[in-house]
A and B are shown apart, each in its own frame.
Chain A
Amino acid sequence: MKTLTVFLGLCLVFVFVWERVDVVRIGYQIERLKRDKTVLERQRDELRVKFSTLSASDRIAKLATEKLGMSLPQQGQIIVVQSRPRPSGVHPSGIALVELKVARNDLPSGRF
């Protein structure tokens, strides 16, 4: 009986010590993860700024015109038309029917 009591007492001490050690270990782990999180957040912010800088409209336009040989459309070359499907729905071909508000005779031949 006495031996059992001592054994149980030792077990309790062992569990207590184990628990304390584990708490300390997890504490260190949390601290390390917090530091990692901070570093990653900082990297994320740096990347966001970099992405925003690289995706600036003037930079893209410059690359498009100077490196890729593109050019801005001239006046009159862009025509936005309103897509308005007929009441019966979409054309059997699957192409939405559109109503052109452009006087067709006025369109330059061979350009559209």
Chain B
Amino acid sequence: MAGSLSRGRRYVLLLLLLCGFGVVLFRLVTLQVLQAAVLSAQADRQHQKTVSLEGARGTIVDRHGKILAMNVEVPSVFGVPNTVDSPLKTARQLSPILHVRTDELERKLRQDRRFVWLARKLDPEQGRRLDRLSLDGIGVVMEGRRFYPKGPLLAHVLGFSGMDGEGLEGVEHRYEPYLHGEKRMMVLQRDALGHTVFPKGMMERSPTPGHSLTLTIDEVIQYIVERELEDAVGRARAKSGTMIVLDPKTGAVLAMAVSPRFDPNAVSALSRDRWRNRALTDTYEPGSTMKAMMAAAAIEERVVRPNTMVFGENGHMMVANTVIHDHERLGWVSFAQVIQKSSNIGAVKTGMALGEQRLYRYLQAFGFGQRTEIDLPGEGAGLVSNPRDWGRRSIASISIGQEIGVTPLQMVSAVAALANGGVLMKPYVVSEIRDAEGQILKQIPPQTRRRIVSPETARSVTKILEGVVTDGTGGKAAIPGFRVAGKTGTAQQIDGDTKTYSTSRFVASFAGYVPSDIPRLAMIVIIDEPQDKKASGGSVAAPVFSRVGEQVLSYLGVPSDAPITLAMASRR
């Protein structure tokens, strides 16, 4: 009896034990298997704090490898408020180093937060002084800070990046996917009491830097362009200025400048108006520079030849109840002289002979009314309306560069096409993308868009445009020892109040190329609203073309292709 009771007790005991183990096993499976992921994440949240840091941003260099933008690792300081014993004392020690007010630092260190930035992207020396202090609850982490060592040079093309390292404008924005480095998540460990345990290696470099970009820009050419443009805008007391230099064979942008300039190292206080790249965002009525393209279209379509005689109507002609004026009373002149003297009447007659549809077709072929697709953000398409929307006067207006809106980049691309034997190239500013080890990941070759006119037509137009400089309105664009082809433009601007052409506000421009037989440079100079009412493209913009052209050709070692005369040598 006793034995059976004992056995019964043993079974009960065994059952109880099994139940107990079953409960433990069930709980174990629940915690370790069924709820494992949730609980693990919860535990991580309790004893870890994750901070996101960006990797080093890629470097931007000019075509000769000169640094235009690069990242340097600089210290950023953070606090862990719940581990700071005396926020006031700590704030007093930090204030003179961080150049932040004591009360502001103290307020941050008293916050009920586990992590707070105290100051970011400081100078390296400030970081070294902080290291020597070695304060409890204060940590230093290295972050990439963007430096533009050339200051304002090329700022409108480079753009700039924000505090968190993201590209906000220009090349920095357009090539963000290549430039940005890998994001690094820094994990701060906390103990059971919630105290932060600084992990090892906090001062290590950010991982996986971004790719580097090689631009087509030449730093020296860019400097020459910016210096001369700033000088011209200042002398003309103009509102702004724009200049672009292209290699006509490839479409590579050698320089692109906007005046006034800005410093991308200190951009926070500036308005968008200041850092907008007007060379490709703003449209303007080109005025007489458009006659070069109109001439190419008319010669290609055999509407005229350079020696075709055109009657200048003695300076006045009525078109659709509007009088078209010339600044010079012309009688019978050759078509070449129409362009060289910048005759509006001759151009209008030629445009009308060409006809609306053909004129529109060539405007499109030269790239007006559509983006050039340059690798920069914010490009405008310009304004070219369809012939069905044109008024009675439109063909006359468009023939002389009115009723049409173009960007400076479109205009210089069109002129470069004439320099390139009639072939339009796509403009571009980035030629290579390299990884952090310097290996080429991508090479961007020149891209041909289309042939617009034949090489013979391009040569004829070049001869005519050479005459603009030797015998016409563009005399001040001449460069001693070189044959220059180009066209002046002085376009009135629309008055916002009267909706008519202003008599005081205008855009003076010169677009051309040099040396004209084997062109190395295609350039456009635009001076917006010079104060002198008598200023013109020939008097304000052409001299900039000449000065820049001479210096750049000398820098590139391009030999003279024309005799130098004493008159030219002593022109200035």
Binding site for B on A (CB under 8 A): 34-35, 38, 41-42, 45-46, 48-50, 52-53, 55-58, 61, 72, 74-82, 101-103, 106-108
Q: Among B71, B73, B560, which residue has its beta carbon within 8 angstroms of that of A101? A: B560
Other-chain contact of A106, B203, B554, B564 (Cβ < 8 Å): B564
User: Which residues of B549-563 have CB atoms within 8 Å of chain A's CB atoms?
Assistant: 550-551, 553-554, 557-563
Cβ–Cβ contact A75 & B480, under 8 A: yes
In this complex, the interface size class of chain B, counting residues with CB under 8 Å from chain A, is 35 or more
The stretch of B33-41, B147-155, B383-391 that contacts the partner chain: B147-155
Contacts of B113 in A (CB 8 A): none
Contact B550 A75 (CB under 8 A): yes
Q: List 30 A-B contacts (CB under 8 A).
A: A38-B203, A38-B204, A46-B72, A49-B72, A49-B149, A52-B67, A53-B150, A55-B66, A56-B150, A56-B153, A56-B223, A58-B223, A58-B227, A75-B546, A75-B568, A76-B568, A77-B569, A78-B551, A79-B481, A80-B481, A80-B553, A81-B560, A101-B560, A101-B561, A102-B560, A103-B563, A103-B564, A103-B565, A106-B563, A106-B565
Given contacts A56-B223, A58-B150, 14 further A-B contacts (CB under 8 A): A45-B70, A45-B72, A56-B149, A57-B153, A74-B572, A75-B571, A76-B571, A78-B550, A78-B554, A81-B559, A81-B560, A107-B564, A108-B566, A108-B570
Residues of chain B whose beta carbon lies under 8 Å from any beta carbon of chain A:
66-67, 70-73, 124, 142, 147, 149-151, 153, 203-205, 219-220, 223, 227, 479-481, 546-547, 550-551, 553-554, 557-566, 568-572
Which residue of chain A lies nearest to B221 when distances are taken between CB atoms in the complex?
Answer: A57
Alpha-carbon gap, A53 to B205, bound state (A): 23
Which residue on chain B has the smallest CB distance to residue A39? B203
Closest to B147 in A: A49
For the complex, give the distance between the alpha carbons of A102 and B72 in Å. Answer: 50
B204: chain A residues within 8 A (beta carbon): 34, 38
- Return B190 CB to nearest CB of chain A, in Å: 24
Task: Collect the chain A residues with CB atoms within 8 Å of residue B149's CB.
Answer: 49-50, 52-53, 56
A111 and B501 CA atoms in complex are apart in Å by: 50
Minimum CB–CB distance from A45 to chain B (whole Å) comes to 5
* Inter-subunit contact B124/A80 (CB<8 Å): no
B72 touches A42 (CB 8 A): yes
Question: How many angstroms from the CA of A27 to the CA of B46 in the assembled complex?
Answer: 31
**How far, in whole Å, are A95 and B195 apart by their CA atoms in the complex?**
79
Report Cα–Cα, A53/B265, bound state, in Å: 12
Q: How far is the CB of B388 from chain A (nearest CB, A)?
A: 49
B227 to chain A, nearest CB (A): 7
Report the bound CA distance from A85 to B70 in whole Å.
44
Residues of B within 8 A of A74 (CB): 572
Query: Residue of B at shortest CB range from A72?
Result: B551
**A56 CA / B154 CA spacing, docked (Å):** 12
Expressed in whole angstroms, the Cα–Cα distance for A107 and B480 within the complex equals 11
A45, B223: Cβ atoms closer than 8 Å: no
Complex CA–CA separation, A81 to B560 (angstroms):
6
Q: How far is the CB of A76 from chain B (nearest CB, A)?
A: 3
A50: which B residues are within 8 A, CB to CB?
149
* Inter-chain contacts of B564 with A (CB < 8 A): 76, 79, 102-103, 106-107
